[in-house]
Amino acid sequence: MAARALIALLMMPLIASALERLDDFSMSDVVAQEGVILRSEYEIEIDTVQYFDEDDYGNITMSDINFATRSQQVIDLDIVSGAVGSNREGRNGIRFSNQELPIDLSVGAVKVNGKSLGGLGMRHLDTGGVDPLVVDVWAGGFDLNENTIADESGFTVDVTVPKETTYDLYYTDDGSELSMTIDHCSSYSAGSCTAGGIVFSGMTFDVTDEGLRIGIPEVAGGQINIRNFRLNESVINDITLKNFTIPTGGYFNLGAPDVAAESAINFDAYFAAGSGFDFIYYDTSDTDVQEFNATISFNALASDANTASTNYFSVQDSSINVRSGSDSGIYIALGDVSTGTGGVRGSMSINDIMLKPEGTASAPVLGSIKMNLEVLPGSYLEVMGH
């Protein structure tokens, strides 16, 4: 026993010396001190979630909710600094990254006033295990005081979706299922994705006098493929949305009702002029695949385009309410009928419409369509179960 104690005492200076010489860089190599790794595996079941409208007494119910990992989930957590010359310069952010995100989500039933709208969910989410899915959260939201300094109390989110990402979305009702597989690949070689993905930059969250302001992220390029779009076993065909152009400046406002004791969600939506994307519909009914191509864009009306505050495709002074009764449901009012303000206002264009075989570089243009829209207050959409 005495010999063991003596050996331990003799070793202590050597151990202390070894620990003393480990700097931050060395520690990061040994134990990943530059960040934190979170490992989790879970299954969460929620029986019922209900929303009650306190003046119209309607309700929305989601039941049999399941949120679970299929296997161990690993998330890397790091502190990052904004790149020099970017609008994140001088700011610090938190980065969440994951090369594999094995998460499934299902909602067994969505009901309005006890009547079913059906069920929905996401399954088979796979980020490919090559490039990580990255979410950066930065201090400071929209530049409300327009001083180009991130001194606001909100926050900003950037999301990078890797090109290998795929997942299934589905909707079920009365035993039937409408499903689709989403991926973000734009080019393949030898069965592997070589290009694609999509980046959402500058989604902001702020609390203002009008409520919660959510900045629409900027998107330049990117691709969303809707594959195996089917009803049960019958394939409806494929759709691709690509070459997104969503400038900065668009936003949503979500606020409380204007009248005390009412229960509703007021909202405005402003889409920056020039927002758009390329649309491709594939007819895959036989081996000779055909494409329907068009470029879709949203702009302000010509009378609004010369003023920065009105240069939007907009939905203004609108609200969402849940009305009670067997023949009522989610009531979406476009504009405020009591004040005669708001509604939908803007211009939508469908340009360079083409029909051509898949893979053909160009084809004769059939034409273009432009619609100037103004949906007046008093218009509404109501969603009811059955």
* 374 vs 11: which has the higher pLDDT: 374
Predicted confidence (pLDDT) per residue in 268-316, tens digit? 999 999 999 999 999 877 778 889 999 999 999 999 999 999 999 999 9
Q: Is the pTM of this model over 0.85?
A: no
- Report the helix count and the strand count for the chain, using DSSP H and E: 2, 26
For residue 55, the model assigns a pLDDT of 77
Mean pLDDT, residues 325-334: 88
Predicted confidence (pLDDT) per residue in 165-198, tens digit? 999 999 999 889 999 999 999 999 988 899 999 9
Q: Is the confidence at residue 23, as pLDDT, over 50?
A: no
Q: Please report, for the chain, the start and end positions of each structural domain, with discontinuous segments joined by +.
A: 39-375
DSSP state of 361: S
For residue 246, the model assigns a pLDDT of 97
Which candidate, 180, 161, 191, 45, places its Cα nearest to that of 101? 161
- Burial grade of 183 (CB within 10 A; 0-12, 13-18, 19 or more): buried
Q: Is the confidence at residue 25, as pLDDT, over 50?
A: no
3-state secondary structure 141-205: CCCCCCCCCCCCCCEEEEEEECCCCEEEEEEEECCEEEEEEEECEEEEECCEEEEECEEEEEEEE
Which candidate, 197, 216, 196, 191, places its Cα nearest to that of 205? 216
Q: For 32-75, where are the alpha helices, taking DSSP H only?
A: none
Q: How confident is the model at residue 26 (pLDDT cuts 50, 70, 90)?
A: very low
330-342 burial: b if 16+ Cβ within 10 Å, else e: bbbbbbbbeeeeb
Q: Is the confidence at residue 8, as pLDDT, over 50?
A: no
* 257 vs 330: which has the higher pLDDT: 330
Mean pLDDT, residues 130-148: 85
User: What share of the chain has pLDDT > 70, as a percent?
Assistant: 90
* 83 vs 161: which has the higher pLDDT: 161
| Pair of tokens at residue 329 | 């449901």
Q: Is the confidence at residue 28, as pLDDT, over 60?
A: no
Predicted confidence (pLDDT) per residue in 207-233, tens digit? 988 899 999 999 999 999 999 999 998
User: What share of the chain has pLDDT > 90, as a percent?
Assistant: 60
Summary mean pLDDT of the chain: 87
Mean pLDDT, residues 336-347: 94
For residue 249, the model assigns a pLDDT of 93
Q: Is the confidence at residue 325, as pLDDT, over 50?
A: yes
Residues 103 and 372: their CA atoms lie apart, in Å, by 42
Residues 121 and 175: their CA atoms lie apart, in Å, by 15
For 248-253, the CB contacts below 8 A with 24+ separation are 248/202, 248/215, 248/218, 248/272, 249/312, 250/215, 250/216, 250/275, 250/312, 251/142, 251/204, 251/213, 251/214, 251/215, 251/216, 252/213, 252/214, 252/216, 253/208, 253/210, 253/211, 253/212, 253/213, 253/214
Mean pLDDT, residues 37-42: 88
| Pair of tokens at residue 182 | 């989403």
Q: How confident is the model at residue 34 (pLDDT cuts 50, 70, 90)?
A: low
DSSP state of 310: G
Least trusted range by pLDDT, from 10-14, 148-152, 349-353:
10-14
